[in-house]
Amino acid sequence: MKKKAILPSMLIIIGCITTAAVLIIQQKQSSNQENKIYSVQKHSLRPLFNVNRDVTLTKKISVGAVGDILIHNPVYQDAFNGADYSFDPMFDPVKSILEKPDILTANQESMLGGQELGLSGYPRFNSPHQVANALIHSGVDIVSTANNHSLDKGEKGIRSESAYLDQIGLPHVGSFIDPMDRQRLRIIDKSGIKVAFLSYTYGTNGIPIPKGKDYLVNLIDKNAMKAEIRRAKSNADVVVMSIHWGNEYQRIPSKEQKELAQFLANEGVDIIFGSHPHVLQPMEWIKTTDGRKSFVIYSLGNFISGQHGKYRDIGGVATIDITKKIAAEGSKIEISNPVFTPSYVASQKNKSFRVVPLEIAETFGLKNAQAKYDEIKKHMYQWIQ
């Protein structure tokens, strides 16, 4: 009878020991999975978790710009295919160049009010909405809309343009539909580098801004610019200013342009893209009061227009590199390597408009294209050291 009593007790003890062993094994396996312990023989295969506080993370992008998108009558008439407007073929010869920068901006000079407001050219421009589609297809990421033609179709033009650009997803800055829209910063985040875009113009060809609607167009005002630059600096790594200024058809910037560029740089603008002269003006580094350096290209000229000769059919693509270095003590921004690639607006009797690389423009009818290319490169780099 005693043996029979002992047997169940032994079974219970063995069961308890087995259960305890299983629990210990499971606990070890769980701990191993949680801590992800590696064999020393395979240390070279481990993910690296570097705790060195001296390590610097570097990010780099390029920002580019083209000049005036100025759609004269012959240009939009040439784009009409019998049913719709297609501007894509005009940019095809330079599309590969336009797609190189990580972010590309353009000066949308002629109003994109669309057909419902009546298409027109000089002196009061109104262009087909489809111009914007071609810009997107060619690589443009944001357009500046503050210029002397911003009010060519009044408030209706600005609202129509803004609505269409929003509809197709093309960011725009410089003209706005209400005060809240004006307060909203345009910032593009590319590869962890935030770039803020601002835009201002000297005026609107004498067309008055409607009373109480100053928000419609950003006019050059140092106090307003100073405040917006500060807001942009607190929300972005880099501030880009597109500015409509200077004298038409002058190939060298005016004293006023240079003074304003210095002011903008001192206030915190890193890159300045100028427009309005309709011809190219040189690039330059600006030394700021706080020891930084800013980059300015005083005028990008016409990128597409119906103007001919006297340098008015020569534009180009400007690019500059932005490097962000992130370390334990904070981040630092460097701008470097400005590059300018000249372009030419080719056409045949105001038809077959094409933007082409200036270097090969002889195949599109420009005589002595190589010599012109060399001249333009020298002109644009004359102040770059």
Residue 45 has pLDDT above 70, yes or no: no
The neighbouring-strand residues paired with 341 are 317
Provide DSSP, 340-353: EEEEEEE-SSS-S-
Q: What 3-state DSSP class applies to 117?
A: helix
Residue 256 has pLDDT above 80, yes or no: yes
pLDDT digits (tens, 9 = 90+) for 327-350: 988 899 999 999 999 999 999 999
Residue 74 has pLDDT above 50, yes or no: yes
Average pLDDT (247-270) is: 99
pLDDT of residue 9: 52
As a whole number of angstroms, the longest Cα–Cα distance in the chain is 122
Structure tokens at 336: 């470097």
More confident residue, 24 or 331: 331
Report whether 306 contacts 350 (CB < 8 A): yes
Say what percent of the chain tops pLDDT 70.
Answer: 86
CA dihedral (208, 211, 214, 217) positive or negative: negative
Average pLDDT (68-80) is: 99
Confidence tier at 7 by pLDDT (50, 70, 90): very low
pLDDT of residue 56: 84
Residue 171 has pLDDT above 50, yes or no: yes
pLDDT of residue 328: 87
Confidence tier at 19 by pLDDT (50, 70, 90): low
Residue 31 has pLDDT above 90, yes or no: no
pLDDT of residue 13: 52
Residue 145 has pLDDT above 90, yes or no: yes
Contacts 24+ apart (CB under 8 A), 203-207: 203/148, 204/148, 204/149, 204/150, 204/151, 205/123, 205/148, 205/149, 205/151, 205/152, 207/151, 207/152, 207/154
Structural domains in the chain, sorted by start: 59-381 (3.60.21.10)
Could you tell me which residues come within 8 angstroms of residue 160 by beta carbon, excluding any fewer than 6 positions away?
A: 112, 113, 114, 116, 117, 129, 153
pLDDT digits (tens, 9 = 90+) for 93-139: 999 999 999 999 999 999 999 999 999 999 999 999 999 999 999 99
**275-298: string of b/e by CB count within 10 Å (b at 16+)?**
bbbbbbbbbbebebeeeeebbbbb
Identify which of 110, 146, 156, 144 has the alpha carbon closest to the alpha carbon of residue 129.
110
Average pLDDT (55-71) is: 96
Residue 33 has pLDDT above 50, yes or no: no
Instruction: Tell me the pTM.
Output: 0.86
Min mean pLDDT across 26-40, 295-309, 325-339 is at 26-40
pLDDT of residue 14: 52
pLDDT of residue 36: 30
- Sequence-ordered strand ranges (E) for the chain: 57-69, 103-107, 142-144, 172-173, 186-190, 193-201, 238-244, 271-275, 280-287, 293-300, 302-304, 314-327, 330-346, 354-357
Residue 10 has pLDDT above 60, yes or no: no
* Angle subtended at Cα 192 by Cα 187 and Cα 195, rounded to the nearest 5 degrees: 25
Say what percent of the chain tops pLDDT 90.
Answer: 84
pLDDT digits (tens, 9 = 90+) for 190-212: 999 999 999 999 999 999 999 99
